Structure 1
Amino acid sequence: MGNASHRLIAYMYGVNHPRSRAYYNNKPLKTIIEESGLGDTSRLLPDEALIRPDIADVSQRRLFEIKPWNEQALREGREEARRYLAALNRTILDDKRFMGGTDFHGEALIRFAGGQYIWRLEWKTSEPGVVQYRWTRSQKPFDSEAAAYKAAQWVELTVEELRQYGGWVERAVEGMLNRREKLATISGTVGMVIDLIGGVATTVLWGSIWGQMSSGAGAQQPPSQGGGQVIPFPARPAPIEPPAQVPAAAGMSLSP
């Protein structure tokens, strides 16, 4: 689930900043600097060339580390962001330095086929450069993600639920992102979703594009087995402080 969280949050950063050139933990710092032409890689220390920031936006010169929603992870994210910023800014050849990113928050709902609990991934910028996330689920089953969102009654995920569905969520998110370029080029699908729903990006997680941008009777339904849908909603205002009680799911170790 840690890997799915990282991948989905990074994906949504790209959706929110379509004009930015950004790297999402897929290339080392040395390559980022070389490809962007922003700096002199000879200024990197020996142990800095291969490190990979979670989100490095070279257009806006912003950086984020993605961490679970707990105090230990916040401390780790703070230290990692500090290290990456120091390395990047040491190489910069102009006066525009990288800063810890701010004001990046949102929610994504995952609907399983068959009308079950709705899962929610929530993330927010806890402090400049650190984005923290947590998973919860609807208090009762819903057939509609909109109904679950309106009810706004979220509870911690159990260990059993994580074991049963966590692997499916990770595989589904990974599959979606692997198809990202294809989805974005089929009749402008991704852009149409964002434009038509006014900021609500709907991303389908099964093998092809199912349904129309409509809730009418003609809309196709997801497959009865193994299907699901991720619906990132416009975020409510981000909480000022992290919650006093951290959901169990937020403390999971991250996948390599």
Structure 2
Amino acid sequence: MPWELFLGNASHRLIAYIYRTRHPTNNVYSNNTHIKTILEDTGLGDWSLLSETERAMRPDITDTDALYLFEIKPHHEKGRQEGLQKLQTYLLALNRTIMTPASRFSGGRNFEGEILIQFAQGQYIWRLEWCTNTPGVTQYRWTRSHERFDSSAAAYQSNQWVEISEQELKRHGGWIAQVVEGLVERRERVATLSGAIGMAIDIVGHVAMSVLSSATSAERGATQPGGKLLPFPSKSSPTALPARLPKASGM
């Protein structure tokens, strides 16, 4: 798989998972669920009004309690435009099936955050950050620490993040995908058994990534060449940094 797809899949997986953990009481679907299934499960609309193509559509995040849709795209203008186009297509399809105006969907808002990922064997610390400056379009980018750090706190406090070269992206893209997929899959399995996905994570907050990262030391040897998600220092409110992402990050 090309490195662009590796990183894209990892970004989608992690961002959608974090949204669900931030809204543990909401009914949230990610992009492995078709619109037809969402309408069948919730009874919000008449799925028979959808065309065959529309029935197979899969929004990146669908929150049927908040009535929000999100499309997740890289942080450049092309990504924003593609996200808006997809979002409008999904909204038109979904809202055509819903007879009650109060139950119609719109583009989601106020969703942003960041997370650190560290490889084993002294690699740089990578950062995934995302923001929703355009309603319904959540854009992300990857950067890495300017130098190697022994702790996540030191890397985070230094606040010196640099663009990642294409060579590094190609080399580490698959590793990122393995780390993210393994960690999220295990947490989802635990959440399914416990019925309490909300216990997992509060990103960039007082709880931060403590639960997600707590088991990674034991698990690290199972993922080659190894990596872990790192907790951030405690903050009183979410960082404003994602809102300052440039319109084009080169990804």
- Taking structure 1 as the reference length, the TM-score comes to 0.82
Summarize the Cα distance change of 1:173–1:240 in structure 2 as closer, same or farther, 3 Å threshold.
closer
Which of 128, 133, 142 matches 2:140? 133
State the aligned residue count. 237
Quote the RMSD (CA, aligned, Å).
2.8
Moved over 6 A (4+): none
Structure 1 distance, partners of 2:171, 2:180, is 16
Structure 2 distance, partners of 1:3, 1:31, is 22
Structure 1 distance, partners of 2:152, 2:108, is 30
Structure 1 partner of 2:44? 38
**Residue 52 of structure 2: SS of its match in structure 1?**
coil
Amino acid at match of 2:161: W
Q: Name whichever of 130-139 and 14-23 sits farther off.
A: 14-23
Amino acid at match of 1:82: Q
Which of 209, 212, 227 matches 1:201? 209
Q: CA deviation at 1:239?
A: 5.0
**Structure 2: runs of 5+ lacking an equivalent:** 1-6
Summarize the Cα distance change of 1:141–1:221 in structure 2 as closer, same or farther, 3 Å threshold.
farther
CA contact (8 A) 1:61 1:97 kept: yes
Q: CA deviation at 1:247?
A: 3.1
CA contact (8 A) 2:13 2:180 kept: yes
Structure 1 distance, partners of 2:197, 2:50, is 41
Structure 1 partner of 2:3? none
Identity across matched positions, percent: 47
**Structure 1: runs of 5+ lacking an equivalent:** 212-219, 251-256
Structure 1 partner of 2:249? 247
Structure 2 distance, partners of 1:143, 1:54, is 35
Task: Establish whether residue 86 from structure 1 lines up as the match of residue 92 from structure 2.
Answer: yes
Structure 2 partner of 1:111? 118
Q: CA deviation at 1:193?
A: 6.3
CA contact (8 A) 1:39 1:92 kept: yes
Structure 1 distance, partners of 2:50, 2:240, is 38
**Residue 133 of structure 1: SS of its match in structure 2?**
strand
CA contact (8 A) 1:203 1:231 kept: no
Summarize the Cα distance change of 1:89–1:103 in structure 2 as closer, same or farther, 3 Å threshold.
same
Structure 1 distance, partners of 2:200, 2:17, is 17
Superposition pairs for residues 63-212 of structure 1, below 5 Å?
63-94=69-100, 95-184=102-191, 191=199, 194=202, 198-202=206-210, 204=212, 209-210=215-216
Q: CA deviation at 1:64?
A: 0.2
CA contact (8 A) 1:28 1:51 kept: yes
Task: Establish whether residue 27 from structure 1 lines up as the match of residue 26 from structure 2.
Answer: no
Q: CA deviation at 1:204?
A: 4.7
Task: Name the structure where helix makes up a greater proportion of residues.
Answer: 2
Structure 1 partner of 2:230? 231
Summarize the Cα distance change of 1:167–1:221 in structure 2 as closer, same or farther, 3 Å threshold.
closer
- Taking structure 2 as the reference length, the TM-score comes to 0.84
Summarize the Cα distance change of 1:191–1:240 in structure 2 as closer, same or farther, 3 Å threshold.
closer
Amino acid at match of 1:129: G
